[in-house]
Structure 1
Amino acid sequence: MQIFPAIDLKDKQVVRLTQGDYGKVEVYGQDPAAAARGFAAQGAKYLHVVDLDGAKDGALSNFDAVSAIIAATGMFVEVGGGIRDEARVRAYLEQGAGRVILGTAALRDFAFLQRMVDKYGEKIAVGVDAKDGFVATDGWLNVSRTQGVDFCRRVYEAGVRNVIYTDIARDGAMQGTNLSVYETLAREVPGLGVTASGGISSLSEIRALAAMGTKAAIVGKAVYTGALALPDVLAAAGEE
């Protein structure tokens, strides 16, 4: 299983939110590129980067910081947050991003998602952020009436092969991830590459996710606080 340490950006700083609440921000660094180099030095090969300002307001507020992260290491970097038109997709890919994540845009304009998948293939992933099982948008500020698992099935049928599924209630809470939803996705949408995100706080969860066939997992607050050591997480996931 692949492990993606997370770098969330707000005002060009490395931060973590609790349960997606922009009022509960903890700053963990002033230099995002240095954070990326630190993860690479510990053995990480993949990186998950989110522009939180972009996710909220649709502007590419942290584009320069994301570009610096991509340039800092040879890691595979996936980027999300505020990517709502092709110009932004292309801009990140031209900077060297391995793939870009469509969230709000994927739900609100499925035709746009389809065009991007048809054009860019597996360089397009979808972020499915669920609150009480329903897809949330606009930096998790609004909740739709679309069921998260149903939406995963729909995007897979459209050609999307990688989904980052986050249970918002678990994110940043250090209370464990929602293993049952990943079991459901493995059973109901076989073939979809699922990245587990939100609340992972123990090595046993990493092993459980790997055992059920989850493609990847994102680790955030647990490694920032020292609750988990990244090399231990990589070993538990089976990464060399």
Structure 2
Amino acid sequence: MKIFPAIDIKNKQCVRLLYGKKENITVYSDNPVEVAEMWEKTGAKYLHIVDLDGAFSGSFKNYDIIKEILEKVNIPIQVGGGIRNFETAETLLSLGVDRIILGTSAIENFSLLEKLTKQFGDRIAVSLDAQGTMLCSNAWETPTNKSIFDIISALENINVKTVIYTDISKDGALAGANIELTNKLNSVTDINIIASGGVSSSDDLKALSACNIYGAIIGKALYEGLINLEDCRRDVEC
């Protein structure tokens, strides 16, 4: 299972939100680039980066920080947050981002997702952000009537290769990952599933790995010292 340390960027800082609410914010660093370098030095093989300014505004903002991270680290990064048109996606991929993540635009503009997948293949991922099974959009603020299980077959049909499933009710709460639902989603699709939200211990990671989940994103638990990156890489990463 692949491990993705998370770097969420807001106001040029590395932060974590509780339940995705921008008013529930904890700042961990004033320099996201240094954080990226730290995780690489600690042994990270991948990074998961979200432009929260872009997610909340609907338009990607932090190109300068992404460029600098790409210049400073030598590991693949996946980037999401406010990627809602072809030009933004193309720009980020041309900068050297390994994979971009579409959330709201994948739900509300399926033709864009299909176009990007045809053009860029497995460099396009989809984030399914949900309260339990029900999807939310617009930086998690707008509930929809769509289930994660409703959309997964449609994603398969256009050859989406990677999906990030986030249980919003767990995110940032250190309450444990939603192992049961992540495993259920993984069992109904051949798409690579990356688990996100609530991962708080090595036991969570071992349980996800035992379910043959493709990857796990770890945020607050790393920054609070509840998970040691080197230890969890040794235990579960392949």
- TM (norm. structure 1) is 0.97
- What's the counterpart of residue 187 of structure 1? 187
Q: Greater CA deviation, 67-76 or 94-103?
A: 67-76
Number of aligned residue pairs: give it. Answer: 238
Partner deviation per Cα, 1:16-44 (whole Å, 9 max, x = no partner): 00011111000000111100000001100
Partner of 1:140: 140
Amino acid at match of 2:197: G
Worse overlay, 66-75 or 83-92: 66-75
**2:3 touches 2:237 (CA, 8 Å); kept in 1?**
no
After TM superposition, the runs of 4+ consecutive aligned structure 1 residues lying more than 2 A away are none
Aligned equivalent of 1:66? 66
SS at match of 1:5: strand
1:213 corresponds to which letter in structure 2?
A: N
- Counterpart CA distance in 2 for 1:97 and 1:89 is 10
Matches within 5 A, 1:120-139: 120-139=120-139
1:206 paired residue number: 205
CA distance in 1: counterparts of 2:132 and 2:200, whole angstroms: 20
Contact 1:103 1:126 in 2 (8 A): yes
Q: CA deviation at 1:233?
A: 1.6
Please name the residue that 1:37 is paired with. 37
Moved more, 145-154 or 224-233: 145-154
Q: Which aligned pairs between 1:153-192 and structure 2 lie closer than 5 A? A: 153-189=153-189, 191-192=190-191
How far is the alpha carbon of 1:153 from its aligned partner? 2.5
The Cα shift of 1:207 comes to 0.9
| C-alpha contact (below 8 Å) 1:135/1:146 kept by paired residues | yes
Matched with 1:218 is 217
Q: Deviations over 1:136-166 (max 9, x none)?
A: 1111111111101222232122210100100
CA contact (8 A) 1:183 1:212 kept: yes
Q: Take 1:234 and 1:216, find their aligned partners in 2: how far apart are those partners?
A: 11
Q: CA RMSD in A?
A: 1.0
1:233 corresponds in structure 2 to 232
1:197 and 1:90 mapped to 2: Cα distance?
A: 25
Q: Please give the alpha-carbon distance, in whole angstroms, between the structure 1 residues aligned to 2:9 and 2:202.
A: 26
For residue 7 of structure 1, report the CA deviation from its aligned partner: 0.2
Please report the TM-score for the alignment, with normalisation by the length of structure 2: 0.97
Which residue of 2 is the match for residue 151 of structure 1?
151
Q: Which amino acid aligns with 2:75?
A: M
Aligned match of 1:103: 103
Deviation at 1:195, TM superposition (A): 0.3
Unaligned runs of 5+ in 1: none
| Aligned amino acid, residue 25 of structure 1 | I
Counterpart of 2:76 in structure 1: which amino acid? F
SS in 2 for 1:196: strand
Distance in 1 (alpha carbons) for counterparts of 2:175 and 2:85: 35
CA deviation map 1:41-100 (0-9, x unaligned) = 110010000001111111222121122122210111000000011110111111110010
Structure 2: stretches of 5+ with no match in the other structure: none
Q: Distance in 1 between matches of 2:71 and 2:181?
A: 35
- The residue matched to 2:235 in structure 1 has which SS? helix
